[in-house]
Amino acid sequence: MTALRCIAFDLDGTLVDSAPDILPALNQTLAQLGLAPVGLEQVQHWLGNGMLMLLKRALTGEMQPCSVDLQLLEQAKGYFIEHYHQTNGQHTVLFPGVKEVLSELSQSYRLAVTTNKPRQFSLPLLESLGIAPYFSQLVCADEVAKAKPAPDMLLKLAELEQLAPTQLLLVGDSENDIFAARAAALPVFALSYGYNHGQSIELSQPDLVLDDFRQLPQAIRQYVQEC
């Protein structure tokens, strides 16, 4: 039996469907810069590597932006932060079963959020959706040297919780979560419904793929018994 103690959750695309609030904030930003608006699906494909990468992708139209005008990026960041503070939480919803499952799991494990979303947007969202009390830790990209796919925030969580990587489990939706977990030597489960740049999460080979958040308690019980 493994000594699982703490479950870390990715936020965007795993616990919450946040793209509907990111889309208008991004399009208002693009409009202020005289650029054309983008669609929801495009935003879903661009999400996962944090705010700055989202803006770089939106400004260049490229998934792997090579060169971005730094002054333009700084301007876009200022506009986006202002707009996203207005839209954040308006249309963002929890994926089905999230609250119930967090409530159940919190009775046996410590729960944490490890997200590439900056803290200034993550915390208000957890609070407005009523799930903040379930988490003992919130580690965001702007609090570590490198965002996921780097292992930094998972290692920080392990340190905060004084746990070994094998006592943690990450639950995420994108290849960035899988790579970060592998780099930090954590087991990782993936939800197939999230944002993974339009690709199947199976390709990144997580330890388990689930299609529904409500399958998580049973999957964790089985994992704990088998290890």
**Least distance CB 3 / ligand PGA (angstroms):** 26
* Distance, CA of 72 to chain centre: 26
Q: Does 153 bind ligand PGA (CB under 6 A)?
A: no
Q: Does 55 bind ligand PGA (CB under 6 A)?
A: no
Nearer residue to Mg ion within complex by CB, 109 or 175:
175
21 is in an annotated binding site: no
Nearer residue to Mg ion within complex by CB, 16 or 158:
16
**Pattern of binders to Mg ion over 121-160, x per CB under 5 A?**
----------------------------------------
Specify the stretch interacting with ligand PGA by CB under 6 A; choose among 27-35, 41-49, 75-83, 214-222.
41-49
List phi, psi (to 5°) of 174. -130, 165
Among 12, 17, 152, 175, binds ligand PGA (CB under 6 A): 12
Specify the stretch interacting with Mg ion by CB under 5 A; choose among 5-13, 74-82, 90-98, 182-190.
5-13
> Are 118 and 55 spatial neighbours (Cβ–Cβ below 8 Å)?
no
Specify the stretch interacting with ligand PGA by CB under 6 A; choose among 7-15, 64-72, 90-98, 181-189.
7-15
Q: Does 48 bind ligand PGA (CB under 6 A)?
A: yes
Q: Does 173 bind Mg ion (CB under 5 A)?
A: yes
Q: Which residues are catalytic?
A: 10
Per CB under 6 A, residues contacting ligand PGA are 10-13, 47-50, 54, 115-117, 148
